[in-house]
Amino acid sequence: MKLRFMGAGFILGGRPCSGYPVLQDDTGRVVEIVADYFAFRALRRGASSGTLRNEAYVLLDWWRMLERNCSWDEATDSELERWAGQCDDRGLTPARTVRRVGVVHAFYVAARRHFGAPERLVQLEADVQSGTPRQLSSQLRHSGRRGDIPALGPAYRPRTVTKRPGRPTPEPDEVQRVLDALLEGPHRSDYVGIRDCLLAGWMEQCGLRREGAVGVGPGALARALATEGVRDDDGPYDLVAGTDAAHIQDAVFAGLRRLRQMRRSHVFVSVTEKRRKTRSVPVPLGFLEINLQFLWEPWTEAVAALRASRPDYAPPDRLFLSLKTGRALLPGSAGDIVKDAFSSAGVDGSGHRLRAAFALRVVKTAYLEQRARHGRFWDPAAVLLYAAEVLGHENMETLRPYLNAIVREGIRLQGEPILIQDHQAAAIFRSLANAVNQGRDGVLASLASVLRGHGLVPEPELDTLERLAKALGVAG
């Protein structure tokens, strides 16, 4: 058995469907029932090419096991459990084995429900409710995602259900080690090191998943700049053309300086990620400048090298290209690159932990701002709602562990945060706070004198019991 993936010109049901998988036997014949299933998934369920690719490899593995035992429509729970056991023996986590079993089960359900496969093949909802046995057993689960409607799934349960402990969020110095490993690792060219470091930067600086990071392109950056008024009279700048046009580069950097003068720290770039949903992510101006320099120097040189060997080569609208194929990096490749850097740096985790580091910063910033604005009456829901919007989470409760950890850390500290929006002023106030905390009373006395000179008499913030004591005339 083998898999083929169709090229960019493949059309299915009148729609482009590049990367469409085709399962073939050893004689080259297409396995028609699997072809019908993938067409159903692509046209009726809107499955992405990445999803189809993942499911194709699962079904390929399942079919290879069946070749040694029985035909696909003779499989029973015994074959499914044996195959799942082989997955466990290969070192797959229980959660991943369960997902693979779910792919196979969904294939059989679709085969019976939509493609006329015999009733004996797999239990549907009515069979489960009536207790009618079939070759493959199912069960109804209440996952909570579909309200009170139970979802049909496999009856299989993994041999071990021990939950793997969550990997810790990397500390800032660990993140730096990972980025250094990407930038300074053994690469064929400087382009690859800079590319991989920036790719991880989009995860750590902007909280992108790997799908979103590989999807960033010059067009998206140009549209984000245009939204902020950094644009040509006719629309967004052609940033790729800016490689050979100094006036475009000068205009873009002048626009970024203007944004900084307006005290703007970010622009918002549209990215498409999970379930093909598009969202706007805040991109720091400094990080955006690095990406523009990458586009106008290493990226352009890499494209020129690809054109030298392939004169008809036209680069896709993506920042992160493979030097081997000239195409955009795939999400799986991006994940492997960052995972290898974690291993090289001796840090536990993967690219998703870079996103976790970003999530922790977002939640902490929102928490401190709430505390600075509202004191002890800060709103946890406002913190989580803001962070969920920035990170593209549908359920803000998934971020509560971050907030709980930050609150626990804050309990051990004394004092209250204050909000200083100007970066230069923040540095001054930070120095004053350090001096006061070190017991330098002269600084505090001088500051109080300056405040009185401007008619500003600070009132100490009292907690509830202190206000009550003051109102009752109780001495401290």
pLDDT tens string 401-455:
888 888 877 665 556 666 666 667 767 777 877 777 677 778 777 877 887 887 7
Q: Give Cβ neighbours of residue 423 (< 8 Å, ≥ 6 apart).
A: none
Burial readout 255-281 (b: 16 or more C-beta within 10 A, e: otherwise) = bbeebeeeeeebbebbbebeeeeebeb
The domain made up of 172-349 is a member of CATH 1.10.443:
yes
To the nearest 5 percent, what fractions of the chain are helix, strand and coil? 60, 10, 35
- Judged by DSSP in three states, 33 sits in helix
Phi, psi at residue 420, to the nearest 5°?
-120, 110
The per-residue pLDDT for 252 is 94
- Is residue 266 within a helix (H) or strand (E), and if so which, with residue range? strand 266-272
Burial readout 159-173 (b: 16 or more C-beta within 10 A, e: otherwise) = eeeeeeeeeebbeee
The per-residue pLDDT for 476 is 45
The per-residue pLDDT for 161 is 45
Measured distance CA(471)–CA(129) in Å, rounded: 68
Looking at 96-100, 194-198, 375-379, 422-426, which range is the least confident one?
A: 422-426
Place of tokens 């809107």: 46
Q: Give Cβ neighbours of residue 418 (< 8 Å, ≥ 6 apart).
A: 372, 429
Measured distance CA(433)–CA(311) in Å, rounded: 62
Which residues, in sequence order, are bridge partners of residue 266? 284
Tell me if 387 sits within 8 A of 362, measured CB to CB.
Answer: yes
Measured distance CA(181)–CA(193) in Å, rounded: 9
pTM attached to this predicted model: 0.59
Q: What percent of the chain has pLDDT over 90?
A: 33
CA nearest neighbour of 369 among 383, 390, 385? 383
In the chain, what are the domain boundaries? 2-143, 172-349, 355-411, 423-471
- Is residue 182 within a helix (H) or strand (E), and if so which, with residue range? helix 172-184
CA nearest neighbour of 458 among 431, 434, 432, 438? 432
pLDDT at 148 over 70: no
The per-residue pLDDT for 470 is 52
The per-residue pLDDT for 19 is 84
